[in-house]
Structure 1
Amino acid sequence: MDMQMYRGHAVVAALVLLTTVTAASPTGYWGYLCDGGNYSAPSKYQQNLEQLSATLPEAVASSPSLFHTQAVGSSQDRAYALARCRGDTEADDCKRCLTQAFKDARAVCTFRKGISIYYDTCSLWFAEKIKIHLGDLQSVLRADGPPIPTQCKAFQNDASTLIADVARKASDSSQRHATGEKGCDERACNYTLYTLADCLPGISAAQCQVCLEDLTSTPGLSGRQMGERKATLLCSYRLEPYQFFRDTKGGHTNKTLWIVVVIAGGAVLLAIALLLWWWFLAKHPSAIDSFNKITTNWQGKTIALFLDYDGTLAPKVDNPDEAYMSSE
């Protein structure tokens, strides 16, 4: 599935989003939507999904943007899939999340050809048709966490301001990912709110902005809980009274960078060690080398060699002129 399929869509100022309220799952997903018709088992479509589940998690985890699209099969039975991981997710965690997502998707929407499923660190969508249009996106919403203290009159304003600010930063970011926090330390009301907002890598800043603005402009479930999250296929945000994301400047924490640093550091240390060894040999020639030099220069003379305990010539006989006793 080409990235151009959603880059070319016009940005619509007003989006119509159908919202599904979901509860937490013991397996990790927090929301899902079933869509499309049914497929039978066994079938070619099922085989195509199996192939996607075997290859897509690794493809996403190895992508610098933690995002990948893939299509498998002929036109009649083709299965399209799109998957991504949150920008601060490690590659191993990303792969593990998406592998589980394929399993859960076929369990909660058994034999359905289309599904989108959402986790803390990843999301997965697959279907028999390409259907990514800003005006037709469905969203999932979940509110949880501790209740908002009645004395915290400024909570709703603080939350709305923080979400809007982080959403704007995400749309302006080249990685379409941003985090932020805002605290209140008043005597009667003390809390710190944390927010993360992101969009599908590759979409335009304008599309990201419109998607997040619409997503964040509608109120939450009840306005009575401090935690809230909402997502569509193209964008999502999350608000919690605790830090749930990693402190990274650019999003994805790349293990490859650390590997390069370690290898480069090791090479530098090795070079230093070799230079020190060369310097030591230059300053302390071996007894054999010095002996050969002395015997060559002083043929026919009686020579007294003075060796230190380390097997090198003593400093007093470094000069061949001093390394003999007599000419007899």
Structure 2
Amino acid sequence: MAFPAMAAIVLLLLLLPFADAETPWQLCGSRGNYTAGSNYQSNLNQLSAALPRKASSNTTLFATGTAGTIPDMVYALALCRGDINASPCNSCVATGFQDAQQLCAFAKDATVYYDSCLLRFSNTNFFATTTDNDVLLILMNTENFTESADSMRLMLFTLLNATSQDAASRSKRFTTARLDISSLPTMYCLVQCTPDLTAGECAACLRGFPQLTFRYLDGSQGGRLIGVRCNMRYEIYPFYQGDPMLRIISLAPAVPAINGTPPETPVTVFSQPQPPPAIIRAGPAQEQRGRKNKLWSIGVAVPLLAILLCCITFLWVRRRKKGNVSLQDKAGMDRTEENALVWRIEEKSSGFTLFDLSQLQRATENFSEGNRLGRGGFGPVYKGQLSDGQEIAVKRLASHSGQGFTEFRNEVELIAKLQHTNLVRLLGCCIEGEEKILVYEYMPNKSLDFFIFDENQSSSLNWSKRRVIIEGIAQGLLYLHKHSRLRVIHRDLKASNILLDQDMNPKISDFGLARIFGSNDTEGNTKRVVGTYGYMSPEYAYKGIYSVKSDVFSFGVLLLEILSGKRNSSSHQFGDFINLLGYTWHLWEEGRWLELVEASISKEMHEAQARRYINIALMCVQENADDRPTMSDVVAALNSESVVLPEPKHPAYFNLSVQSNGISYCC
């Protein structure tokens, strides 16, 4: 038998004892009992067959359902954790129905919680209850912090408050976070509300969590507040899948005074990891089954784990040797750089995956044309799906790309270190033989240019959505220029490099041309000018000089394109002007700036608002880099109308116009 297949079988055998290892935490209600063979049990069975599939097939991993008629009507709600996939969600909810009927035998009202999901069913309509949790379960880590109580309270408040606000603002009402502050422990947090709640309802549900945390979990290194409508967990170790969706790098000024009494929700407190037998009640059969499962798990897992580790070590060594041979055979490649890149990835990139080529071939159906999303200067991009159901975008280096490996190495080493909600997330890469492949999170709504430059699609982006996109791009650039661990100049910001997630939130992509600056550097110079004309600042296009102000210029062009729905480089759209910048300046000077705004959004914008956004864009595309604002200034101007904007001078490239005998310079 081939070693990869053997390793897969060993891994499967190793996981079997733990397939049902998630501890159920049940709360049995006091709303009466049903009898075997009753209508209520029949209705409950209907829901147990339908709800797991309904929840797992929903993109939010959430479902509610009813069965029967009063007085035997059953109401049920299922919610899976936002970072798991459909298959484990289905299994978890199905197990929940089984465990609830065993642990709360014949109870008409029961709730079970797991690490991966929660389930509640009842004979009363609890769907209408959106702002409290009815019954709250608290799980407490028995290990305590050794740091001062005041500093830990401030740290926990910062963590819970920031994560709760972020979760409430997202459409899925789910987020994961990591708090990284020097001298304090690194903390991890997950917050989730049921996605049928509004942002305000989610925030209201979570509002009492800091007070409950300080009352019941004060000093504890980890804990969970679990309710049907909202839940929270924090730990000193990563417990969720993937990278954190939110990074917290500064503390709140202080813990606010918390007045009043804690929420009146009934609270049950357990210690982790196992519930106290005196509180979690199970019948003799369940206790006996639990003991057998533990013995089976220990007896099988330990020797198989040793076998698995041996197999993995063997395969890893063999793969490294094979990879080295392939690299040696490749003509014209810098072997030292490639090997060094692989080494750096393996040594330093936690959460970053080195994919096998065969994995990506299966995921993309061997890079089929039907899976191709588009093509850039780097090479084609394909949609793929991994074996666990995760959708990915696969960016394959074109073999004929003369500068390909330089950009590939640059993007891997750079973006793997950057984490921001408005930057596309790099999941991993593949370096195998001649193949150089980047694997990103998949963005279902393609790129910004697909919407703003297509008359049939542009109407789906109203002003409210465009404003979120504008502000998100600005925040992403501000992070690159100022707040990331590295000071990064993107150098190729344009509409096609702004990807949109399922909620139409923007994510800056394609860092192949990006450059890192030292903290004291202000500009760089290159003889090789790369990027996209129309978005390039004049000092970069003509002299090869680039700086943060180069990205600001590109942002200004992009802002005008979002407002107008027109490409900067389409001369036929601007009458006598060859570009959008000249046309905008012409309208600005004549006080007709509202004419620039695309018709589908002009009715949603006030004239003063349109003038302000165009003013910001014109400031960004000033001919002299020193006259342009920083992204800090841009973000401040976008977020507050109290920021006074200066009158812009003429923009770069404004004096190009079209006459009957060709292109000329005017003014």
TM-score, scaled to structure 1:
0.65
**Structure 1 residue 74: deviation in Å?**
2.3
Rounded to whole Å, the distance in 2 between the matches of 1:122 and 1:260 is 30
Note if contact 2:22-2:114 (Cα within 8 Å) is conserved in structure 1: no
Q: 1:259 to 1:128 in 2, by over 3 A?
A: farther
CA contact (8 A) 1:83 1:123 kept: yes
Q: Distance in 2 between matches of 1:31 and 1:226?
A: 24
1:52 aligns with 2:47: yes
* CA distance 1:267–1:222, shift in 2 (3 Å): closer
The reply on whether 1:167 has 2:164 as its aligned counterpart is: yes
Alignment of 1:62-81 (within 5 A): 62-81=57-76
Alignment length, in residue pairs? 237
Partner of 1:111: 106
CA positional deviation for 1:259? 11
- The amino acid that maps onto 1:125 is R
Structure 2, gaps ≥5 residues long: 1-19, 247-359, 373-667
Aligned with 1:61 (options 56, 59, 80): 56
Residue 236 of structure 2: aligned partner: 241
Q: How many Å apart are 1:244 and its aligned residue?
A: 0.9
How far 1:172 moved relative to its partner? 0.9
Change (3 A) 1:162 1:249: closer
| 1:140 matched residue in structure 2 | 137
User: How far apart are residue 265 of structure 1 and its match?
Assistant: 2.9
The more displaced of 139-148 and 236-245 is: 139-148
Structure 1: distance between partners of 2:91 and 2:215: 30
CA deviation string 1:101-120 (max 9, x = no partner)? 11111122111101122111
One of 179, 188, 198 as aligned partner of 1:204: 198
Max Rg structure: 1
CA contact (8 A) 1:31 1:141 kept: no
Shift, 1:185, TM fit: 4.2
- The aligned residue for residue 281 of structure 2 is none
Residues 33 and 216 of structure 1: is their aligned pair in 2 closer, same or farther, counting only changes over 3 Å? Answer: farther
Indicate conservation of the 8 Å contact 2:79/2:117, yes or no. Answer: yes
> RMSD in angstroms over aligned alpha carbons?
2.9
Question: What does residue 189 of structure 2 align with?
Answer: 195
Secondary structure class of the residue paired with 1:46 = helix
Q: Secondary structure at the match of 1:195?
A: strand
Does residue 242 of structure 2 align to residue 213 of structure 1? Answer: no
Q: Which amino acid aligns with 2:170?
A: S
- 1:142–1:221 contact (8 Å) kept in structure 2: no
Contact map agreement 1:199 1:235 (CA 8 A) in 2: yes
* CA pair 88-27 structure 1, distance change in 2 beyond 3 A: closer
- How far the C-alpha of 1:171 sits from its partner, in A, is 0.7
Assess, with a 3 A threshold, how the Cα gap between structure 1 residues 118 and 80 changes in structure 2: closer, same or farther: same
Task: Determine helix, strand or coil for the equivalent of 2:200.
Answer: helix
Where relative contact order (Cα < 8 A, 6+ residues apart) is larger, the structure is: 1
Aligned structure 1 segments of 4 or more residues deviating by more than 6 angstroms: 258-261
How far residue 269 of structure 1 moved from its aligned partner, in angstroms, is: 9.1
Look up the equivalent residue of 1:166 and give its one-letter code. Answer: T
1:227 aligns to 2:241 (yes or no): no
Identity of aligned residues (%): 28
1 CA distance for matches of 2:67 and 2:139? 32
Distance 1:150 1:269 in 2: 52
What is the identity, as a one-letter code, of the residue corresponding to 1:144? N
Partner of 1:42: 37
Q: Distance in 1 between matches of 2:211 and 2:151?
A: 18
8 A Cα contact 2:176 2:244, kept in partner: no
Give matches, 1:1-328, under 5 Å. 27-131=22-126, 132-133=128-129, 134=131, 137-144=134-141, 146-150=143-147, 154-186=151-183, 191-218=185-212, 219-247=214-242, 262-263=364-365, 265-267=367-369
Which digits, 9 at most, give the CA deviation of each residue in 1:258-304, with x for residues without a partner? 9997249323699xxxxxxxxxxxxxxxxxxxxxxxxxxxxxxxxxx
Letter in 1 for 2:161: A
The alpha-carbon distance between structure 1 residues 227 and 249, as it changes in their structure 2 partners (threshold 3 A), is closer
Choose between structure 1 and 2: higher helix proportion.
Answer: 2
Shift of 1:208: 0.4
Contact map agreement 1:194 1:241 (CA 8 A) in 2: yes
Distance of aligned partners of 1:155 and 1:203 in 2 relative to their CA distance in 1, 3 Å threshold:
same
Compared CA separation, residues 63 and 165, structure 1 to 2 (3 A) = same
Tell me, yes or no, if the aligned pair for 1:220 and 1:228 is still in contact at 8 Å. Answer: no
Contact 1:197 1:238 in 2 (8 A): yes
What amino acid does structure 2 have at the position aligned with 1:183? D
Q: Secondary structure at the match of 1:100?
A: helix
Q: Residues 62-116 of structure 1: CA distance to partner in whole angstroms, max 9, x if unpaired?
A: 1111111111112221111111111111111101111111111112211110112
Q: CA deviation at 1:138?
A: 2.2
Contact 1:30 1:142 in 2 (8 A): no
